[in-house]
């Protein structure tokens, strides 16, 4: 069983628990009490510039604990001070040591739009994300059939959230374009064996239609990486590990982003 299959199994269990403990009507009521989402898409679309989504992630299945002293609020503040355009917040508990409560905490102290980074497979999780303060969600093409992807995209749109729809190969890219994704993510990490190569972004960026913003994710560690991805046509990059393992986030952000900006 691949890591992705294990995670999917865990998520099915989490959805079953969410159904039992909350249910759709309760989550919808919770959503009504939230203020309108911030515009995640607008924040990362800056013509001629590469935008940066800073990720808040304590651990990962491939690397273990990245930051033993992980504290969501000081880290979110540091990202905001460093000038990132948006935040990606890991909410998965079992594999990434995240928490749903991190969304509001990061959002409040940073003033930035936040993406719920998790493995969403059911509409209940989309409502849960909005109730918890998410302005955007991650949807992974490899996690679900095309019909389910379209369904979750529609739910997110209804809640005024943007979906970062993640692909890893050309077949998935075709599926998400047909589904009507407005923001594409290219994951340089193979979610089955966790190998990483930026070549995935370089190859798929050539296949992406003009006009749809593209976020390159995973394996980005240097200014050379950032410059190459900008040149290849990426609108934004999502970076976590390089910053989570750095002693000073502000300095690490400045060292990584292209100078001419």
Report whether 51 contacts 86 (CB < 8 A): yes
Report whether 72 contacts 102 (CB < 8 A): yes
CB atoms within 10 A of CB 15: 17
pLDDT at position 161, please?
98
C-alpha distances (whole Å) from 237 to each of 176, 179, 211, 256 are 19, 23, 17, 11
pLDDT at position 123, please?
98
Domain boundaries, the chain: 3-256
| Residue in the block written with tokens 């594999």 | 95
pLDDT at position 259, please?
67
Q: What is the CATH number of domain 3-256?
A: 3.20.20.70
The number of residues making up the chain comes to: 261
Q: Two tokens at 238? A: 């999502």
pLDDT at position 2, please?
80
Report whether 115 contacts 98 (CB < 8 A): no
pLDDT at position 190, please?
84
Q: Two tokens at 129? A: 């994300």
Per-residue pLDDT tens, the chain, 261 aa: give them: 788 889 999 999 999 999 999 999 999 999 999 999 999 999 999 999 999 999 999 999 889 999 999 999 999 999 999 999 999 999 999 999 999 999 999 999 999 999 999 999 999 999 999 999 999 999 999 999 999 999 999 999 999 999 999 999 999 999 999 999 999 999 999 877 778 999 999 999 999 998 899 999 999 999 999 999 999 999 999 999 999 999 999 999 999 998 665
pLDDT at position 139, please?
98
**What stretch of H or E contains 123?**
helix 123-131
């Amino acid at each position: 069983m691949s890591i992705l299959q294990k995670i999917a199994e865990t998520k099915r269990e989490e959805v079953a628990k969410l159904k039992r403990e909350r249910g759709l009507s309760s989550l919808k009521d919770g959503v009504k009490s939230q203020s309108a989402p911030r515009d995640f898409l607008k924040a990362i679309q800056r013509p001629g510039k590469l935008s940066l989504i800073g990720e808040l992630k304590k651990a990962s299945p491939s690397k273990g604990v990245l930051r033993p002293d992980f504290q969501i609020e000081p880290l979110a503040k540091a990202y905001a001070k460093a000038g990132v355009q948006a935040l990606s917040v890991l909410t998965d508990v079992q594999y990434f040591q995240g928490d749903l409560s991190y969304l509001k905490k990061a959002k409040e102290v940073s003033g930035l739009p936040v993406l719920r980074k998790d493995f969403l497979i059911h509409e209940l999780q989309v409502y849960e994300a909005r109730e918890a303060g998410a302005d955007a969600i991650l949807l992974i093409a490899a996690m679900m059939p095309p019909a389910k992807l379209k369904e979750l995209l529609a739910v997110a749109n209804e809640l005024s959230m943007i979906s970062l729809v993640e692909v890893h190969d050309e077949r998935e890219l075709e599926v998400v374009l047909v589904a009507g994704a407005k923001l594409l993510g290219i994951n340089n990490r193979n979610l089955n064996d966790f190998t990483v190569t930026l070549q995935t972004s370089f190859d798929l960026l050539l296949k992406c239609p003009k006009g749809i913003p593209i976020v390159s994710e995973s394996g980005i560690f240097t200014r050379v990486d950032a410059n190459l991805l900008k040149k290849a046509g990426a609108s934004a990059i999502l970076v976590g590990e390089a910053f989570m393992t750095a002693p000073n986030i502000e300095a690490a952000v400045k060292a990584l982003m292209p100078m001419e900006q």
